[in-house]
Amino acid sequence: MLGLKLPTDPRWANIAEKNIDEILIDHAHCEQKAASTAISLIVSFPEYTELVTEMIALVKEEISHFKLVHDRLIAKGIPLGRDRKDEYVVQLVTFFPKGGSRTDQLVHRLLYAALIEARSCERFRLLSEHLEDAELAKFYRDLMVSEANHYTLFLNFARQYGNRVQVDEKWKKLLDYEALLMRNLGTKESIHG
């Protein structure tokens, strides 16, 4: 349903469980960045009223996710600490050429966001199925549902604002590229690593 071409290496869930504090820190940063992305879309594309309306709601939801994860860190006595580079995202967002029309730029950003949500959703599902801590597993199951909705939201906006046929073609190519990236990932104690 997420369209992903390559599933995460199943060993990743073990690595994540053994390093759950690192995962929570990285996850908190992912939620904070998801909220930032929504704000950034509002700043860059204010004339797209429906997008702005949905991004306002998304900022609230993602920042509430950030709070949930941050509260868990506080309870464990772990400071959030500085963000580290998300190599997955850094590589992913090089796929489409820079420039192009304003619509192209919007579509590309929406497709990147859709894919990051889809992969995050897959990772949360793995955590929800694998973690022995039942309460934490439930936490990830709930988040998985949210991220699946965000994936749909971004992909639908890309199809709505761009040329449907071209957008679907771009989405297919981006999924193929992401699968290539994923071959070298799934080995680190981070949400997308």
Q: Which residues bind Fe ion (CB under 5 A)?
A: 31, 34, 62, 65, 117, 147, 150
Compute the distance between CA of residue 116 and CA of residue 174 in angstroms, rounded to an integer: 11
Closest CA to 147 of 113, 123, 120: 120
Helix ranges, the chain (H): 11-18, 20-44, 49-75, 87-92, 102-130, 134-161, 164-183
Which residue type is seen at 45?
Answer: F
Task: Give least dist CB 101 to Fe ion, A.
Answer: 27
Instruction: Tokens for 100, please give them.
Output: 């192009």
25 in Cβ contact with 193 (< 8 Å): no
